[in-house]
């Protein structure tokens, strides 16, 4: 299961324009019964993933 966080960098509420766009895209996928989504085996996905340290930009 994929998870999408819409919490902005400032920690406040998500921008309504952004969340509306996400809602419309998600509903379009659901209407097409997720036919546009290609499932990839975990091993294949991990082979293309790169580790990234997000904390380096926030912690000194």
Phi/psi region, residue 46 (left: phi>0; alpha: psi -120 to 50; beta: rest), is alpha
Structure confidence by residue, pLDDT tens digits, 3-15: 566 677 777 787 8
**Model pLDDT, residue 33:** 85
- Domain borders along the chain are 16-57
Q: What is the pTM of this model?
A: 0.45
d(CA 23, CA 16): 10
What pLDDT was estimated at residue 41? 96
Kindly report the length of the chain. 60
pLDDT tens readout for residues 14-60: 788 988 998 999 899 888 887 878 889 999 999 999 999 988 888 86
């Amino acid at each position: 299961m994929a998870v999408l966080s819409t919490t902005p960098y400032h920690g406040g509420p998500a921008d309504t324009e952004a969340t509306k766009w996400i809602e419309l895209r998600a509903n379009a996928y659901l209407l097409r019964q997720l036919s546009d989504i290609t499932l990839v085996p975990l091993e294949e996905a991990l082979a293309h993933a790169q580790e990234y340290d997000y904390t380096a930009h926030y912690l000194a």
